[in-house]
Amino acid sequence: MLEWLESQGHWGFIMAAYSIGAVALVADLIGQHLRQRELRRLVAERLARRRLQRSR
């Protein structure tokens, strides 16, 4: 893989560098989104369980 990269010349290194940046950015975006969803689900579940206990 490295040999392929090195055969691409300068623009190969440039593109590799910027794709690392893009991957980091996307990972941050998706990570925050997924965590938001999971937290919302957890809080909602806890509230629902509590309401169920209260209604009994």
Partner 1 sequence: MNRFWTWLSRYASPPVFYRVAGLWRPWLGWSALLFGALSLYWGLFHAPEDYYQGNSYRIIYLHVPSAWMSMFAYVAMALSGAAALIWRTKLSELTVLTIAPIGAGFTAVTLLTGMLWGRPTWGAYWVWDARLTSELVLLFLYLGVIGLASAYGDVRRGARAAAVLSLVGVVNLPIIHFSVQWWNTLHQGETVRLFGESSIDASMAWPLLGAALASKLYFGWSLLGRLRLALIEQESEKAWVHQALGLEEQAHA
Binding site for partner 1 (CB under 8 A): 6, 10-11, 13-14, 16-18, 20-21, 24-25, 28, 32, 35-36, 39-40, 42-44, 46-48, 51
Shortest approach of partner 1 to residue 35 CB, angstroms?
Answer: 5
Shortest approach of partner 1 to residue 40 CB, angstroms?
Answer: 5
DSSP 8-state class, residue 56: -
User: Cα–Cα distance between 47 and 13 in angstroms, integer?
Assistant: 51
The number of beta carbons lying within 10 Å of the beta carbon of residue 11 is 8
Q: Both tokens of residue 30?
A: 């998706």
Shortest approach of partner 1 to residue 21 CB, angstroms?
Answer: 5
